[in-house]
Structure 1
Amino acid sequence: MFGYVVINRKELTKPELERYKAYYCGLCTGLEKSYGKKGISLLSYDMTFLYLLLSDLYNTKDITAEKRCAVHPLGKHKYTTNELTSYVSDMQILLSYFSLKDDLLDNDKAKDEQKLLKLESYISQLKEKYQRQYNCLSENLQKIVALEKIDEDNIVTLSTLSGEMIKEIFAPKEDIFYKQLTSIGKSLGSFIYIMDAFDDLKKDIKNGSFNPLKKLSKKENFNETVKDLLELPLSQAASSLERLPLDDNLSILRNIIYSGVWSRFEVLTR
């Protein structure tokens, strides 16, 4: 489910790329601090986007330092942390937990089950601390699973529920930014569901697994239809992004929303 909300590296300036890397490594540092190696293994580009977004929006007091790590053992690299690092790290764990639950229902992989078991010790505490986010994830995943079990192939219905599932993690609190933040989360959640279905289509057809795009894929101009489906939530995400008072990370966030998110689609449709 992760890995679609990425940068277009070629379109970033060198300082922008270095800034992005510092936030990515900062989130990695936060995950390691709170969850050890298990946390590091769940680091995603999607949550790096959220980290960049919230850090800019709430004008956090960023601390940028240098260190070596297992991934970069030969030289020091910059990493950026702030008061929101722990929140985004916690959301990464919650989202990963529910994503793994969904994957297990689809694939029944022993490897995913082991990962899920390793995360379960954290979930009761996170559920108590973030009831709004937890309930939203849990309730909407149940709705998605129920529809998938009856082979519901309305991709708009399913992707909308995926957006509803994710939207609350984009808002650490219910303040003046809540409406726009949850709108971005909902839109990206919808986009990710459609993109994931498109990415998995050939594999799912081969394996006989559920995929809501199977019937649609038999029609003419399928790729163009999927592109149209993807453009709607992305335009909504962009509209909400532009309504927020952002500055420091805005050029990177725009790079992701307007360009980077299309990277995988472009690879699949070449």
Structure 2
Amino acid sequence: MPSPERAAYQKYYCETCHQLKAGFGLVSTATVNYDMTFNTIVLNAVAGDVQEFEGTPKSVRCVFRGPKADSDIFRKMAAYTVLLTKWELVDDRTDKPSVKTDLIDLTLGRAISKAESMYPEYDGIVGRGFGRLRDMELDGCSDAVRMGKEFGKALTEPLSDIAGDSDFPELRSLFTDLTAAVYVMDAIDDLEDDFMDGTYNPFLQECTDFRNRDEYVRKNLYGLTGLVNGVIGDLQRDYSAVRRHMRSMTGVTDNIVYLGVPESAKNAVAGRSAAKMSVKNALDLRKKRTSTY
């Protein structure tokens, strides 16, 4: 990402962190992540009242600084990010209980309780979305794109509410297809880990001879790349419709949608992924939290 766009993106990423700290305490800043930052950028560009705000000077203590944007969109997105993290922890605990997950849940307990009380409707919607995903897993669904889109539709409902009167169908489709792209890339990236852990992965449902990730990808390269290209094409189509309504930050979002996401997908297929785009990025120590944008 060129320097001006990188600086603009960093401003939003830092502001997301500051909004989390101001609303939900210092420990909640561990949940800041790339895809929620992207969603905040798009929502603010389409529906926000604060298109320009002061950035945070780089400092080892920048996390202690307060928010610069007086924005309901930023505040609601902070709460939504905490609730997503809550349900990711619930899902992790169901898949594979661990002391680490329990410790993280305990550490974030106060932040989660506050977000639940502030936005119980968002909490319920996200919980039902994870429940729907769990039902599809129990049914042995092997269609990763379908699962990602069904999941995305649920997670998009709070984002539509946050957009308010500025909501429109293509905006919802953008958020849905971003979730689908994330889900597919994570599933490819996690093939070996899920096989070793015995946890669900849609690509493993009909595979009876899995040996290792590299061999699986070699055997299924054509199908995997077609699948990934299809979901990214849907994302880019939606974005082109949304972009006309954005009042700011299009240089940043252009770079992410047309360069960053395809590069992340290529790295996921090739086994070179340095970072997941999902909220588990904040809590999963197996991956480095470095942006591929």
Shorter-normalised TM-score: what interval? Answer: 0.7 to 0.9
| Higher alpha-carbon deviation: 171-180 or 30-39 | 171-180
C-alpha distance in 1 between matches for 2:70 and 2:234: 28
Conserved? CA contact 1:163–1:187, under 8 Å: yes
Find the counterpart in structure 2 of residue 262 from structure 1.
262
Look up the equivalent residue of 1:196 and give its one-letter code.
Answer: D
C-alpha distance in 2 between matches for 1:178 and 1:130: 22
1:72-91 aligned at under 5 Å gives the runs 81-83=69-71, 84-91=73-80
C-alpha distance in 2 between matches for 1:72 and 1:120: 24
Pairwise CA distance, 1:204: 1.7
2:104 to 100, 109, 115: 115
* CA separation of 1:173 and 1:60: change in aligned 2, threshold 3 A: closer
Q: Structure 1: which 5+ runs fail to align?
A: 1-11
1:21-170 aligned at under 5 Å gives the runs 21-61=10-50, 62-67=52-57, 69-70=59-60, 81-83=69-71, 84-123=73-112, 125-127=114-116, 129-170=118-159
Q: Which TM-score applies when normalising by structure 2?
A: 0.76
Find the counterpart in structure 2 of residue 227 from structure 1.
225
* CA separation of 1:69 and 1:115: change in aligned 2, threshold 3 A: farther
Deviations 1:74-106 (A, max 9, x none): xxx9x8534022111111111111111111111
* CA separation of 1:100 and 1:263: change in aligned 2, threshold 3 A: farther
* CA separation of 1:42 and 1:219: change in aligned 2, threshold 3 A: closer
Find the counterpart in structure 1 of residue 290 from structure 2.
none
Look up the equivalent residue of 2:105 and give its one-letter code.
Answer: L
Conserved? CA contact 2:43–2:163, under 8 Å: no
C-alpha distance in 2 between matches for 1:94 and 1:227: 32
Pairwise CA distance, 1:240: 2.4
Pairwise CA distance, 1:185: 1.5
Deviations 1:208-235 (A, max 9, x none): 3321112357597523322222233332
Q: Which TM-score applies when normalising by structure 1?
A: 0.82
Look up the equivalent residue of 2:138 and give its one-letter code.
Answer: K
C-alpha distance in 1 between matches for 2:148 and 2:32: 23
Deviations 1:146-192 (A, max 9, x none): 23234332323322222123212332044242422221111111111
Equivalenced residue count is: 257
C-alpha distance in 2 between matches for 1:242 and 1:151: 34
Find the counterpart in structure 2 of residue 249 from structure 1.
249
Conserved? CA contact 1:136–1:164, under 8 Å: no
Find the counterpart in structure 2 of residue 4 from structure 1.
none
Over aligned residue pairs, what C-alpha RMSD do you find?
Answer: 2.9
C-alpha distance in 1 between matches for 2:81 and 2:103: 17
Pairwise CA distance, 1:124: 5.3
* CA separation of 1:100 and 1:178: change in aligned 2, threshold 3 A: farther
Pairwise CA distance, 1:141: 0.9
| Higher alpha-carbon deviation: 25-34 or 131-140 | 131-140
Conserved? CA contact 1:65–1:80, under 8 Å: yes
Question: Secondary structure of the residue that 1:153 maps to in structure 2?
Answer: coil
Find the counterpart in structure 2 of residue 237 from structure 1.
235
Look up the equivalent residue of 1:81 and give its one-letter code.
Answer: A
Conserved? CA contact 1:94–1:126, under 8 Å: yes
* CA separation of 1:262 and 1:82: change in aligned 2, threshold 3 A: farther
* CA separation of 1:251 and 1:173: change in aligned 2, threshold 3 A: closer
Pairwise CA distance, 1:17: 1.1
* CA separation of 1:71 and 1:122: change in aligned 2, threshold 3 A: closer
Pairwise CA distance, 1:28: 0.9
* CA separation of 1:82 and 1:236: change in aligned 2, threshold 3 A: farther
